[in-house]
Amino acid sequence: MPMVTEPAPTKLTDTPLEPIGPLDTKVVQRLPKMTEGCLVPVYMDIQQAFVPAEIVSTREMNGVHEFYIHYVNYNRRLDEWVTVDRMNLKELTQPSSSSSSSNNISHEMSVTSLPRTVQPSTTTASTAASSAAELSLGNTTTFFLSDDADSLNSDLSRAATLPSLTDPLPATATPTAPTIARGNGNAHHSGAHSITKVKNINMIHLGRYFIKPWYFSPYPEEFTASPVVYICEFCLKYCKDVEALKRHRTKCTLFHPPGNEIYRNGTISFFEIDGRKNKSYAHNICLLAKLFLDHKTLYYDTDPFMFYILTEFDAQGFHIVGYFSKDKESSEDYNLSCILTLPPYQKKGYGHFMIEFSYTLSKLEGKIGTPEKPLSDLGLLSYRRYWSEAILQTLLKHKPKDSETDYPSLSINDLSEMTAIKKEDVLAALQNLNIIRYHQGSYVLSIPKDLFDSYQDKRRLRVDAKNLFWTPRVTTKSTNQFQSK
């Protein structure tokens, strides 16, 4: 019978057998030094992969160190607080003092579009032949532009060299503080202050929805500690808890935004708010909008602005969907300063609807309009779609019948006047559609049939001018009481 021996004792290794749980202060002290500006790969849930990220801020919560990070080349709305267990510390990079300032600017840049190309003022034989072939195709509609070719070529070249509509600053520019505190929170700012880089509101409750904010908004500091900020959906007053909101609702008599209802079509309404007459509501909507708009700086002088609040109606009242604002007086033809569709109502056509409404007001005023620039990345996409649609629908109305052989003629100014879209925006839309061509000494618009078909009234929401009850403001020049007669 063999002898029974005890098994040799196993030697413990220094390697932990399971992942470290919540980190305490002692563990953190043994980790590499991690400060603001460090770059480190962080596991990103939506990508299911490690993504380069910059540490923006640090804090300690219940003895656990947390790091607020910005995913490089991703929108800042995805910034979040993470713990060390989501970081690949082996690839941690310390910030460089010489490049920290430039990094801060580049990381805040929105993703910009590629430079637009312009057709040259001269063409080769092959280019001319291909252009002639395009004009002769039966499935292509051609419009001759009556504009002077040299002048139009200059306009196109100038449009191509303009900074992208989403660029806060040219790449070589240095950020400067705004010198004028203008308006309703819609002044663009370059390079966020270190405080405003970090989201300060965890969650808001508005009407039927709990909404997670995207960006910083300067609500009073005592509200930043609340797990949820409760907002009255009719006057937009903010409360620390649900009980405070209930007490407020017993006193608040509003069931729609203050101001005049100027448009109603079914359950959709627009209310016009004067920023001077309704200061409290104007301030509150600016704070709310800043939660979802990145490159905007909030100021408190709302007097120069009008606000147009889009609502949906039901038995409980008129629920805010979004809004846009515009200058009462603009020397640069701005017909829109800021636009926001609240997240629960996005991807339903409300953004296009508000843009179309702003141009409808411009037509009633007899003006050519343009949005205040720079636009956000989402705003630029919405405007490009609207401009393209409005121009193609206008061209469709002037499209020759199949029996007609003559090409119709119009000018860029004609398109601008018919659509109320500023000339520069018309040119940008034509270039984005890639339908402007140089042919035999002049410019033409060459539009394939499938492009026309793709823009034929596919939007669910359209502005019906018959349901708009609005009179343009009458502007009066202020007189100098000391002026000699």
DSSP 163: P
Q: What percent of the chain has pLDDT over 90?
A: 49
- Please determine, for residue 116, whether its predicted confidence score (pLDDT) is greater than 50: no
* φ/ψ of residue 243, rounded to 5: -65, -40
Reported confidence tier of residue 484, pLDDT bands at 50, 70, 90: very low
Torsion of CA 68, 199, 194, 219, to 10 degrees: -150
State yes or no: is 329 an active-site residue: no
**Domain range annotation of the chain:** 38-86, 389-457
pLDDT digits (tens, 9 = 90+) for 421-439: 999 999 999 988 888 888 8
pLDDT digits (tens, 9 = 90+) for 177-235: 333 334 444 443 334 455 678 999 999 999 999 999 999 999 999 999 899 999 999 99
Higher pLDDT, 396 or 420: 420
pLDDT digits (tens, 9 = 90+) for 266-307: 999 999 999 999 999 999 999 999 999 887 666 578 999 999
Q: Containing H/E element for 185? A: none
pLDDT digits (tens, 9 = 90+) for 331-344: 898 999 999 999 99
Determine the CATH number of domain 389-457.
1.10.10
Catalytic residue among 54, 233, 372, 389: 372
Using alpha carbons, select from 354, 358, 370 the residue that is nearest to residue 425. 370
| pLDDT value, residue 283 | 95
For domain 38-86, give the fold: SH3 type barrels. (2.30.30)
Using alpha carbons, select from 317, 348, 351, 314 the residue that is nearest to residue 336. 351
| pLDDT value, residue 458 | 64
Using alpha carbons, select from 306, 310, 289 the residue that is nearest to residue 298. 289
- Please determine, for residue 318, whether its predicted confidence score (pLDDT) is greater than 80: yes
| Residue type at 437 in one-letter notation | R
Please give the Cα distance from 252 to 246 (Å, whole number). Answer: 10
Whether the upstream peptide bond of residue 115 has omega within 30° of 0, thus cis, is no
First to last CA, the chain: 131
pLDDT digits (tens, 9 = 90+) for 26-81: 444 466 788 889 999 999 999 999 999 999 999 888 888 899 999 999 988 899 99
**Averaged confidence pLDDT in the chain:** 78
What are the counts of helices (DSSP H) followed by strands (DSSP E) for the chain? 11, 19
Contacts of 349 (CB under 8 A, 6+ apart): 459, 460, 461
| Residue type at 34 in one-letter notation | M
Q: Could you give the C-alpha distances from 162 to 155, 202, 309, in angstroms and in order?
A: 11, 38, 32
Please give the Cα distance from 58 to 54 (Å, whole number). Answer: 11
**If you search the block for the tokens 């920023």, which residue do you land on?**
275
Please give the Cα distance from 217 to 79 (Å, whole number). Answer: 14
* φ/ψ of residue 422, rounded to 5: -60, 150
